[in-house]
Structure 1
Amino acid sequence: MDLGINGRIALISGADSGMGKETARLLLEAGVRVAITDRADGTIEEARAELASLGEVIAVTGDVTKADDVTAIWREVRERWGDPDMYVNAAGVTGATGDFLDVDDGGWWETLDINLMGAVRMCREAIPAMRRRGWGRIVLFASEDAVQPYVDELPYCASKAGILSLAKGLSKAYGGDNVLVNTVSPAFIATPMTDKMMRKRAEEKGVSFDEAIASFLVEERPGMELKRRGKPEEVAAAVAFLCSERASFINGAGIRVDSGSVFTIAG
């Protein structure tokens, strides 16, 4: 299917691995020029090299928790290519976990600063040029946790609930300018973040990595009817669609890519 976005420009944060990198891959295959960004201590340059054969891709380092870095990221992309037509916010962390009473203010602020305020800072840079041109696509990564919170990761859950509210509000504020803002909500995808979670679980339970995944699905994610972790490319497919001209009447919506994990029909 032709996505109708050949020649456009996209910026993707949190794109050195996992779902962000796979989104970059699909957009490149659709003819989009893609700028990927992540912290300098990650593997952003390796990701760029891996994607380079697919089309025009550049890597820009920066930290979405730092206002100066955010400004510099956008300035570099604009100087090289012009204003991005699309912004995909895939930057995020699990953040502080554990019993609610044991998580201090620092744990809460760090999680919210990356997952929610990082998106706020990046969207402030994205929207003005999109409004002027009368065409824009913003896709923010939420999570099943936003509407189905888990008691041992409440800062993450709250940050992702904030993403849903942010996206809905932005869709109302700027949809009339043809700047369409939507979310995707993955659940338990095979990424470095969940790899780390499962290695920790395996060590704590004295089981193999695969056994840790199997027990997690049974005990913690019983609603995931396919009984496996999702693949990053399965999430990326939804993101690429929302970035496309084919999604020209979708605004303020959320797509769950969660194997049925969320039990409710609401949210």
Structure 2
Amino acid sequence: MRARYTWIKQTSDYDDPQEDSHITPRFGVSYSITNDFAVYGLYDQAFTPQSGVVRDGELKPLTGNNVEFGIKKDWFDGSWNTTLSVYNILKKNELTSDPLSTPSNPTKIVLGEKRAQGFEFDLRGKIFDGLNLIANYAFTESIVTKSNVEGIEKGDIVPGYSKHTANAWLNYTIQNGKLKGFGASIGGTFLDGRQTDTWGEGLERLPTYFKLDGGLSYEIGKIKVTANVFNILDKYLYSGSYYEWLQAYYWQAEPGRNFRVGLTYKF
């Protein structure tokens, strides 16, 4: 258990100085049912200053709270472990993108309140000596629970997130022999149910996203050399949103297949 007191003062060339303060508590409890099985609970609050030019409404600090419950389990003498958690996140007065914003007059809007809730599952462990797996899946639903803005209604889906997110990564390092210290890894990211980062009806949904990355490494003594390749499949990956002032969608594309080489020395 802990609590934080925050006091802020903001000034600008266009408005009078603003002051605010808040106490944000945090509570956490964990209970071990057995040596390899535990449950936990968490509650905390948020209070964060925000900045930007607001089209409608008053600029206020972001406030909210998070409630989370989970279970943790170790398997096979600790060589594998899993975590399953459920959460409910509430945010008030958050600044979000304004569909009427233009490059010459960038503005934001203050959303009354939104709620994100879902669950997450994490898995990690050793398949055999030298080969390890890390994977996770998250399901998230985020909706508007209160609105101060015309055109945004209670129950609207909050844009800019993915309903389904999954990641997996395999790492293998040779343990013995002349090639000891040589490693290889491969992993991917999958996103589905992506909402465009704007508000409105009948907007185009972003397509399913999948990116595959990999790499090779060699470590001897204090030196480690890495060679990574990103977007191995060289897929056209992008994000973006609809801008009302353009009457068009604006996409931001990610790099195609690209490479990176690194050298690390441990002192």
Higher strand share: 2
TM over 0.5: no
Q: Give the greater-gyration-radius structure (CA).
A: 2
The structure showing larger relative contact order (alpha-carbon pairs under 8 Å, at least 6 residues apart) is: 1
TM-score by length of 2: 0.31
Higher helix share: 1
TM-score by length of 1: 0.31
